[in-house]
Structure 1
């Protein structure tokens, strides 16, 4: 089933910015390492409203309303409509990359159609590959934001559904910021306020800067070839993996959390840490690694609340870090769920203000631009996204989404993405990405099967 593109355009902010909002927004040591990584892709699947005598759903009207409300939203989230710019000099080498609001061609908006039903997406054992075509800007990396949109929205019309997918430059926004934008867009859409002057959570664009350092961060390069490698992002070098979703009911999550805490005689292990521990154990077992080999569980975490003073949750940017729990396969298998969860809990707890600032200071001394193959190692279970994001609060006049899905980029064997369950109440969905031979083992793992049962 192929997706057919019907139209595309660019949507600009509805109102002119103040002079302050036209100033460059300089990228930080949180953002710049992502220059070589792909855009982040997340979206929501909705059922079309059922036909009724009083109301008939019009895709034309819906698209127009989306574009008008997006334009009003971009008045508040104006950097999304801009492009990147670079200021460089040869001696000494200096390469300053920033968001240039003066150059604001807009957010790309794509309308597409596909002869696929909602049930085709939801009932397949594995995520159908057509879902990847519900997103724009595949194989685009953050550095391409100099000439490519920093955000592209693709609205794909299914036979009986609508998918709204966003591809956003990962230097510009992490998951917290992306879902903040989506929430405000939904808020303005539903309010029918054509101007969208007042929103509940205005974004904050003032950059977090480590005390004692300049707000303009310079990279020691003179040309992008020194830090960009597009060959590893090309389709030829991308390993074919299987993707599937696991649904943990609120009862199943509660049981896992209680089990982990009971085994450790504590109450400090969170639901997310308990589910993560389960995934770590089962992924490691499926890979049949040697007992003496190292196994790692890596979690991507927001640094907003970890620095002192804390950043606002409305800070718009990419202030993320990673924490890792490491042990041997033998140790992980010799102990239970609680032991693994406690290792993860300790790694998260130790990621405090001092640890974040040490990492930033170390990056200043030795600036590094990440590459995909440096993020995903064969012995790592990599946990991204968050079940705490209010994905299902974004309704766009269609009622609550029936599912959240992601695109094809930034995936590898052992990459897990966490989502809230559609029914709420502490339930979780987990997007599992694994090589086919490991997925077959993972699906048959008794610990996974048992945990998914809520009885």
Structure 2
């Protein structure tokens, strides 16, 4: 597949209405968010089929783009931080280094229109994810700290021969997956309403930042004097990406097997599938038996805090939580044993653990470097099959597939998507070095689980 994406136009879009005075105030970040300043933007998108002839006689890409821009502007009235920029305030006496979100002094969110001479089928049926999919997203090499000079949200609409891809690149300090898909749902809702005089949405975002009760609106002073003291641009070795579909039946079997082996009923579908991936990827990597290995899951702290944060909390209150084991332990025990390690890691990540981390980090703030995240003996699992991705429609019906960009990926990065057919099915995007990808499709435990 040699076709390249051609950018036709780009512009910046601001909220449709002027912001009220309280929305023009700086928004300060929590420890959960500031640690991700070196991570790439998060990139997720949806591929839609164009209406087939003769129904598409009324379809106009020009009118469609106009409607997208107008509804996006209306949506940004509700999600105004996405039209903002980051800012840093530095003082020498007393010394301070504060990074915050500035709702003013920004041209807005970016909107790109592009075209490519490939079909929907070429994207969907390819064994490996085609590299051209990465070009369906903007800001591919940006890290979150770049939000000082780059938009915090960039939407790229790529027109295929017979389809439309809507891809979003969002600053991961500003929004996690929950926040991004809440935004996409609101945008879809406004787009489909076609109301010119009312832009109400079903669920309004909550912007008041909170890490712990009593720490609301805490301004964090980072222990730096210049960005070069903490910035890192991680370059990942070349890897392959492939999607694997776990039907609702296969997910149910894995969950039942894991729970039966542990004589319990508390292991979730996600934990069972993650345990399978942990075991099978470790097996094809073939590290020494005494090597320590880990499986890390992105875990939202919204409901772990006391009091809990709202599901509509707009931010990135996420931490990585994982199970560890030696290769010998992982391979000599079954699926249930691995799933139970993950279950216990998630269960024990409660308010007390989170509070201890927040208070410790706040005393000596440090920014994560991505080179330390992608360990060759670790798999990192992000996103969630619980996100209602396929509920986001823009007048084109249900999306054909959901896809992600090249950001925050390396060997062992796993991204979870809901299966298009619902019912608890899961689509798993696996990133592995080419030699490991060539072997996993022959791993008996893995392949049997997909049947």
Cα distance change of structure 1 residues 293 and 66 upon mapping to structure 2, 3 Å threshold: same
Shift of 1:55: 4.1
| Alignment coverage as a number of residue pairs | 448
Task: Show structure 2 runs of 5+ residues with no match.
Answer: none
1:122-166: per-residue Cα shift (whole Å, max 9, x none)?
111100000000000011111111111000000000011000000
Conserved? CA contact 2:298–2:383, under 8 Å? yes
Shift of 1:211: 4.1
Shift of 1:35: 1.1
User: Is 1:331 the counterpart of 2:332 in the alignment?
Assistant: no
Q: Distance in 2 between matches of 1:327 and 1:154?
A: 41
User: Is 1:168 the counterpart of 2:160 in the alignment?
Assistant: no
1:149-208: per-residue Cα shift (whole Å, max 9, x none)?
000000000011000000000100000000000000000000112344311000000000
Conserved? CA contact 1:69–1:196, under 8 Å? no
Pairing of 1:315-326 with structure 2 (within 5 A): 315-326=313-324
Task: Show structure 1 runs of 5+ residues with no match.
Answer: none
Q: Distance in 1 between matches of 2:282 and 2:58?
A: 51
Q: Distance in 2 between matches of 1:352 and 1:387?
A: 22
Pairing of 1:173-184 with structure 2 (within 5 A): 173-184=175-186
Conserved? CA contact 1:51–1:57, under 8 Å? no
Q: Distance in 2 between matches of 1:53 and 1:250?
A: 33
Q: Distance in 2 between matches of 1:98 and 1:110?
A: 26
Cα distance change of structure 1 residues 195 and 34 upon mapping to structure 2, 3 Å threshold: farther
Q: Distance in 1 between matches of 2:280 and 2:196?
A: 50
1:226 corresponds to which of 220, 224, 229? 229
Pairing of 1:106-125 with structure 2 (within 5 A): 106-125=108-127
Cα distance change of structure 1 residues 195 and 294 upon mapping to structure 2, 3 Å threshold: farther
**Normalising by the residue count of structure 1, what TM-score does the alignment of the two structures yield?**
0.97
Q: Distance in 2 between matches of 1:145 and 1:54?
A: 39
Deviates more, 1:201-210 or 1:279-288: 201-210
1:256-294: per-residue Cα shift (whole Å, max 9, x none)?
101111111111011111000000000100100111110
Pairing of 1:8-407 with structure 2 (within 5 A): 8-52=10-54, 55-213=57-215, 215-230=218-233, 232=234, 237-407=235-405
Q: Distance in 1 between matches of 2:168 and 2:60?
A: 22
CA RMSD of aligned residues (A): 1.1
Q: Distance in 1 between matches of 2:420 and 2:213?
A: 41
Shift of 1:229: 2.3
Q: Distance in 1 between matches of 2:407 and 2:211?
A: 29
1:86-131: per-residue Cα shift (whole Å, max 9, x none)?
1111234311111111223111000000001111111111000000
Q: Distance in 2 between matches of 1:26 and 1:302?
A: 19
Shift of 1:375: 1.0
**Normalising by the residue count of structure 2, what TM-score does the alignment of the two structures yield?**
0.98
Cα distance change of structure 1 residues 376 and 22 upon mapping to structure 2, 3 Å threshold: same
Q: Distance in 1 between matches of 2:410 and 2:239?
A: 7
Cα distance change of structure 1 residues 418 and 85 upon mapping to structure 2, 3 Å threshold: same
1:403-437: per-residue Cα shift (whole Å, max 9, x none)?
01111110011110000000111000000000011
